[in-house]
Amino acid sequence: MNYPAAGRVAHLTAERDRLLERLGNGWQQVEAAKAADDPSVPRWEDVWIALLGQYTSLCDQLAIYEANQSGYAPDQPELVAA
């Protein structure tokens, strides 16, 4: 999606916050499954790790976008989104 600068930051921030909430809920599910000796613990952990990857990627995107907006040139220019 193409957003104006403020809209792009707002979108990324909202998505980051949504993923952070899902991570918290997912961790509670993992802990509950462990406490219940649920055999699906590895599946819950896999889902949580996938969410963590999405969260990390989104945080990286947000940092790059904010760095580009501020004029900061990161050490790894290949990471800078066009």
Helix (H, G, I), strand (E, B) or coil at 3: coil
For tokens 């040139």, the residue is 73
State percent of the chain over pLDDT 90. Answer: 59
Contact predicate 55/23, CB 8 Å: yes
Residue 29 CA to residue 22 CA, distance in Å, equals 10
Domain boundaries, the chain: 11-70
pTM of the model: 0.73
* Tens of pLDDT, residues 42-61: 999 999 999 999 999 999 98
**Residue 53, CB half-sphere, CA atoms under 13 Å: how many?**
6
Is the model more confident about 6 or about 50? Answer: 50
